[in-house]
Amino acid sequence: MGLPLLLGLLLLSRTGGLLVLSLDQPHTCITAETLCLAEPACSAAYQTLQNCSQSFPKSSFLPDQETRNRCLAAETFVRNSYFQECKCHRRTRKLEQLCLRIYWTVHFDDFHLEVSPYEDADNEDSSKTNYNKLSTRISAMDRTNPCLHATNVCHLNHKCMRLRSLYAQTCSTETTCDRRRCHRHLRHFFERISADFTKSLLFCPCQDEVCGERRWNTIVPECSFQSSSSSKPNCLVLLDSCLKDNICKSRLADFQEQCKPSGTSSDGCSPHNHAACLEAYMGMVGTPMTPNYASNSSTDVTLWCSCKDSGNQKEDCEQVLSSFASNRCLRSAIQSQMILNQRNMEVQEQLQFTPSLNFQGDATSTDGTVFTSEMRWEAEKSKMQPEVLMQDGRSFPNSVYSGAHLSSLTLTSTLLLLLLGPP
């Protein structure tokens, strides 16, 4: 019986109930686990694999060869069953954690994180219209600061404003920094808000340090990025903390796959997919390996760590740091997004605006209150096709100039009558 048909049947779940799997349901690792547990041979091998994945990473010694061979045999059997190429949905909240737990159970022996556990990112073009419409409502006053502009656009969207204010308040240095809680709210923001909003906030093109400082402070780095200690932690410490967390480990694997540098590509990416690289990069925000800009005046990104006192692991440490700080593909993707954002700003500046007394405050900004406006939709005069009015078989342009032309003829006729009339 083929897998598509099995997916349409009623299968026994782990709790003994019935679970309906539709024919068009994607083959996620959650689906694969349900199918496997319904078959005795696969279920036995999977349970063996669960014991292996739970024991080996936590043990301080290598297992004996017999135990290791048993685990590898179970892993081979399970991978060649329903779990072949199973993936997880991106940013699916609770289901993401469940799916990733299953994925790393099946791939417990993968230490190099070379393959992403996530499905390909969806195309988010349909979300752009909403951002662009909101963007045209912002006054030209804040367009000299693209990061402030992006913030104000976010605040015109209720969901974006609510989740941004929530993480900004949680990560605020005015209270004691709870880094784990700060990271959780940051992840929620980048998971639940459209990429058009998040990319504009994180990759706004700046020409001065005032704008650059706002961009650097997007993720409230005093809590989410920097450590409270006077010295930076070793990068291998960050990596170890990341590998103990399934979400961080998964997003790191996704980042390494999507932003893998290529020496044969003109833009440094293989394949040429800037959007996937930026998606993977933003997925790292809110994890123990949260990246950020190196400074207010730089577009280079880095991790808050160093390789000082790494001993014989210095090369491994530098490889972790350089995957962000010296990643040609990531740098190219960020610059391309900034150029795109700048072009969008320039196009919007060509539109005409009528100011109104609408005030839009920025709860997390120190730049003060900014003006917003309602846009008056007018076509460019060079592209307008003037309407034509028909009167007495003659046509006249329907414009302000036609009235002025008729008035001049009337005035000229009156003067001629006055001059030629009887004395």
Tens digits of residue pLDDT in 255-283 = 999 998 887 878 788 777 899 999 999 99
Distance in angstroms (rounded) separating the CA atoms of residues 345 and 338:
11
Please choose, from the candidates 370, 384, 385, 375, the residue with its C-alpha nearest in 3D space to the C-alpha of residue 350: 375
User: Which domains are assigned to the chain?
Assistant: 3-106 (no CATH), 125-349 (1.10.220.110)
Element at 105 (helix H, strand E) = helix 94-106
3-state helix, strand, coil in the chain (%, to 5): 50, 10, 35
CB 314 within 8 A of CB 230: no
Amino acid (1-letter code) at residue 40: P
Q: Which of 123, 214, 223, 120 is nearest to 181 (CA)?
A: 223
Torsion sign across C-alpha atoms 70, 72, 77, 83: positive
| Tokens matching residue 292 | 């950020």
Which amino acid appears at position 309 of this protein? D
d(CA 173, CA 55): 39
The string of pLDDT tens digits covering residues 334-393 is 999 999 998 888 777 665 344 443 434 444 443 433 333 333 333 333 333 333 223 333
Residues of the chain with pLDDT under 50: 1-25, 58-60, 124-127, 352-412, 415-419, 423
pLDDT score of 237: 94
Token digits of residue 262:
């290529």
Report the pLDDT value the prediction gives residue 128, as an integer from 0 to 100.
54
pLDDT the model gives residue 364? 45
How far CA 118 is from CA of 103, 107, 122, 246, 306, in Å, comes to: 10, 13, 11, 12, 29
